[in-house]
Amino acid sequence: MSTPSRIDLHRHLDGNIRLRTILELAEKNGIVLPASDEESLRPFVTVTSPQPGLLEFLEKFRWSVGVLQTPDDCRRVAYENVADAHAEGLDYVELRFSPHFMGQTHCIPTPAVVEAVADGIAAARRDFDVPTELIGILSRTFGTEVCRRELDALLGFKQHLVAIDLAGDEAGFPARLFTDHFDCVRDAGLGVTIHAGEAAGPESIWDAIRLLGATRIGHGIRATEDARLIDFLGENRIGIECCPTS
């Protein structure tokens, strides 16, 4: 019997930064962290207990991206994500990132973030035998205009991407606000995977499919509230990127 493949289709590279790297970048960039060693820092940047909601969960990212001050910092994080996937024995990984979110603390230009991440992934592909693809995220939390600029930057490097995602405050910024964005995504020939059905109900998943053209859904845990939706997902082979033990 052949060994099953180990894959990760939903890994946020901007939320998957080594503790040691956070400490080293903070020291290099003169940033004060709430802790000075890995174990003391861990509770601030990892989820160790249930969170009251999605936005509280996302707050865990704040210290991680807050140490990114230059494009080289972003390049390092991207490279290390692939190195870590190799160390974990993954056979295939898709890494996703929000360039505006990564660059906002220290005003790194969004196109520079995209270029640095793409370069880091390309270098790591050469050094590690892990098939890796890259997904760009539009951070809906920052509004439609920021997402438009984010999309423009990502499409400038579309040859390095396989898909575009929409993530963030799902309840506050519903799919209908982003139909024009994803018309452009599909016109560019990129796949569409949307975070939906977590901070909002199954209707959010329907909208992600019908309005944005999603062929995969991030998290999607509230799909179970709508039996018709479950049947539709199965019949149309629309995957749910969900951790069953979370």
The residues annotated with a catalytic role in the active site are: 198
Question: Is the separation of the CB atoms in 215 and 240 below 8 Å?
Answer: no
DSSP H or E run through 194: strand 191-196
226 touches 240 (CB < 8 A): no
Q: Dihedral sign for Cα 98, 236, 7, 120, please.
A: negative
Q: In what order do the strands lie in the sheet with 239-241?
A: 7-12, 92-97, 132-139, 163-167, 191-196, 216-219, 239-241
SS3 213: coil
Contacts of 149 (CB under 8 A, 6+ apart): 100, 110
Task: Please report which residue ranges of the chain form alpha helices under DSSP H.
Answer: 19-29, 38-45, 54-58, 62-66, 71-87, 99-103, 110-127, 144-155, 179-187, 202-210, 227-235
Enter the DSSP assignment of 176.
G
